[in-house]
Structure 1
Amino acid sequence: MLIYGAGGHAKVVASILSACEERVVGLFDDDWQNVIWPDQCILHGYDPLIMPIEKLIIAIGGNQARRQVAEKVVHSFGLAIHPTALVDRSVRVGTGVVIVHNTVVQAGGRIGDHVIINTAAIVDHECILGNFAHIGPGATICGGVRVGECSLVGAGSVVLPGVSIGKECIIGAGSVVTRNVPDYAKVAGNPARNID
């Protein structure tokens, strides 16, 4: 597997792949000359001709940056799902998805492309996560929630059942979201309120 990115999230993705007995054979990064990587692999700026049949994971935590990289990558995308994650077999999982240690994704959900479900997050039944969304560590997404494209649900947040979060939203860490959040909004608190 190839990884694009060399920061902290890339180390988590490498850990997931290792736990899945998947070897990281190459690492792409825009600043590759300054990358110190603990494992032996090819380091380079992105080049579609390097190992073109290997699958790739974009290991960048920022939603916008991850989307920009996805638009230029020619490689096929893989999945990184840690063995401790409990993902119901009925969940539809997109491409390039990263599901981190000790997460739970319940029945009937849909996970878009390049979504990150971070450490110990819970995504309950029938949730829909848009492309490039990021569910932060320890967040709880209750049943029937929709999270729009490129939205971030911060660490430790709770989103109540049936709530819809628009695209490119930021939900502050530790927030309790009790009602719908429009596109591009930034909310935080308990209950979550607009902070723009």
Structure 2
Amino acid sequence: MEELILIGGGGHCKSVIDVIREQGRYNIIGIVDPMIAVGEFVLDVKVLGNDSLLPDLASRFKNFHITVGQIGSSPIRNKIANQMISLGAKFPNIISPKAHISRYANLGVGSVIMHNVTINADATIGDFTILNNHSLIEHDVKIGNFCHISTGAIVNGNVTIENDVFIGSGSVVVQGAKIPSHYFLKANQIYK
């Protein structure tokens, strides 16, 4: 199994740990989080320390995943990604075995594809994006970097979602819509 360090220890981290355990590909070495005491645990994963450890960890480990959640904008996730990329870190995608990803879909790096997500043909998912449980990404959708498609959201065909967009739980994005960068779509809304 490959070794993996998680950055961020909140609620989103717990969900990602669950997907990693189901995936069975990575041994989680620990979590970096400035708000949780060293030696504490998030589920069964030990907190190693705060962000000051990142340069040392990047010199010893290659795989990282950003487990800071994203509601609204994503400047913290973006800052962490840029810092770690400059240190030579790699960001594999974390993909639930319960997700369906078309063989014709394209994925960037550092994203998490949660349980029961569907990504259909010719969809493109950017870097560091969260596709939360039961989200549906239809054919020919283009999703940018640092987006979060929340639980149960439906993104219909030929939609373009630019960078740093949050799509709330249960929302529907209508066929062919274009969502600009930094947009926040509340839960259960329809975007045309």
Q: Does 1:58 align with 2:95?
A: no
Match of 2:174 in 1: 160
Unaligned 5+ segments in structure 2 are none
Moved more, 53-62 or 112-121: 53-62
Q: Does the CA contact (< 8 Å) of 1:53 and 1:76 recur in 2?
A: no
Residue from 75, 81, 95 that aligns with 1:81: 95
Match of 2:143 in 1: 129
Percent of pairs with identical residues: 28
SS of the residue 2:21 aligns to: helix
TM-score computed with the length of structure 2 as normaliser: 0.87
User: Counterpart of 2:14 in structure 1: which amino acid?
Assistant: K
Unaligned 5+ segments in structure 1 are 179-196
The count of residues paired between Structure 1 and Structure 2 equals 178
Q: Does 1:45 align with 2:53?
A: no
SS of the residue 1:167 aligns to: coil
Residue from 23, 28, 33 that aligns with 1:24: 28
After superposition, the C-alpha distances for 1:121-173 in whole angstroms (9 at most, x for unaligned) are: 00000101100011010000000101110000110000011000000000010
Richer in helix (by share): 2
SS of the residue 2:16 aligns to: helix
Deviation at 1:31, TM superposition (A): 2.2
CA–CA distance in 1 between the matches of 2:47 and 2:10?
16
| RMSD between aligned residues | 1.5
Moved more, 21-30 or 95-104: 21-30
Match of 1:189 in 2: none
TM-score computed with the length of structure 1 as normaliser: 0.86
Q: Does the CA contact (< 8 Å) of 1:134 and 1:151 recur in 2?
A: yes
User: Counterpart of 2:55 in structure 1: which amino acid?
Assistant: P
SS of the residue 1:31 aligns to: coil
CA–CA distance in 2 between the matches of 1:171 and 1:37?
30
User: Counterpart of 1:45 in structure 2: which amino acid?
Assistant: N
Match of 2:41 in 1: 36
Higher relative contact order (CA 8 A, sep 6+): 2
Deviation at 1:29, TM superposition (A): 1.0
CA–CA distance in 2 between the matches of 1:113 and 1:4?
16
User: Counterpart of 2:34 in structure 1: which amino acid?
Assistant: D
Deviation at 1:26, TM superposition (A): 1.7
> How do 1:80-99 and structure 2 match up within 5 A?
80-99=94-113
Query: In the superposition, relative to structure 1, how do residues 45 and 60 fare at CA in structure 2: closer, same or farther (>3 Å)?
Result: same
